Amino acid sequence: MIADRMRFPEGPAWDGKGNLYVSSCYGGYILKISSNGSLKLIDSAASQNMKQTNGLTVYKDENVYACDYGLGAILKISPDGKSEIFINGYEGKKFNRPNDLAFDEQGNLYFTDPKSHGKDELDGRIFKVDIKSKVITLLADRLAFPNGIAFSPNGKKLFVCESAKNRILTFRVNDNGTLSDKTIFAELPGGDPDGLAFDAEGNLYVAHFGGNAIYVLSPNGEIKEKIITPGKNPSNLEFGGEDMKTLFITEDETNSVYSLQVEIPGLKLFSSPSNK
């Protein structure tokens, strides 16, 4: 355990420089965890530009991008902790509940925007935003609570958890950044597939919320390993450490963050500051 008493921790993000950022969804703050201990990066009580963050990712410029489901917005947070609303809606309406996000190799930010949590309530969406122009594109809709999101190692496929249907979807990423060829990659009953992360060999790690486990899926979707978690609600995960062989896990029954050493290193994200 590397942090506790976090009130629904989520969205772990490794900056490639020894720091892990974690959202406290119900606590209203983001924690920066380093070798020197933990400290609050930013608290919603101190800023109108932050309320309840979830998914986080660190871009090459060292800014943290955050899904804020309380504000219905995507935030941009500077290294010194100053938060600004980056985008907050589409076609004149606020986003529903931005959940998780990932950059592609070109620097476009993809994010999930769920609303209702029912398998027959198809009101979830996936968006893309050009971070330079802030042009927003609706990529997919009619999804049952789209949640965790991650690009395949070659960037040609996008993986998205459709949590309310207990499954993981894949989309083909076209040359213009749009999505096509939606396919069911894997089904994981008994809990909600939540956060996602790839290792360097293309295995997909899945936080199975309510299922008391992290599943490791092969590139063809078969279960290779089941890692039992300290609580029943693992919410998200991220590879980090100097050799990328540390798996960080947020867990919401114990309200804690854990670390686990693995043999195969994690995939370095396209957006990582270490990939400059």
Q: What are the chain's domains?
A: 9-275 (2.120.10.30)
Q: Give the pLDDT band of residue 275 (cuts 50, 70, 90).
A: low
Tens digit of each residue's pLDDT (9 = 90 or more) over 171-180: 999 999 999 9
Q: Is the pLDDT of residue 272 over 80?
A: no
**What is the rounded average pLDDT of the residues 125-139?**
97
Q: Is the pLDDT of residue 210 over 90?
A: yes
Q: What is the reported pTM?
A: 0.95
Which residues lie below 8 Å from residue 191, measured CB to CB, with a gap of 6+? 166, 208, 209, 210, 211, 212, 213
Q: Is the pLDDT of residue 274 over 70?
A: no
For residue 42, the model assigns a pLDDT of: 84
Q: How many CB atoms lie within 10 A of CB 182?
A: 14
For residue 149, the model assigns a pLDDT of: 99
Local structure of residue 90 (DSSP, 8 states) = B
Which residues lie below 8 Å from residue 96, measured CB to CB, with a gap of 6+? 72, 113, 114, 115, 123, 124, 125
Tell me what percent of the residues of the chain surpass a pLDDT of 70: 97
For residue 47, the model assigns a pLDDT of: 80
Tens digit of each residue's pLDDT (9 = 90 or more) over 13-36: 999 999 999 999 999 999 999 877
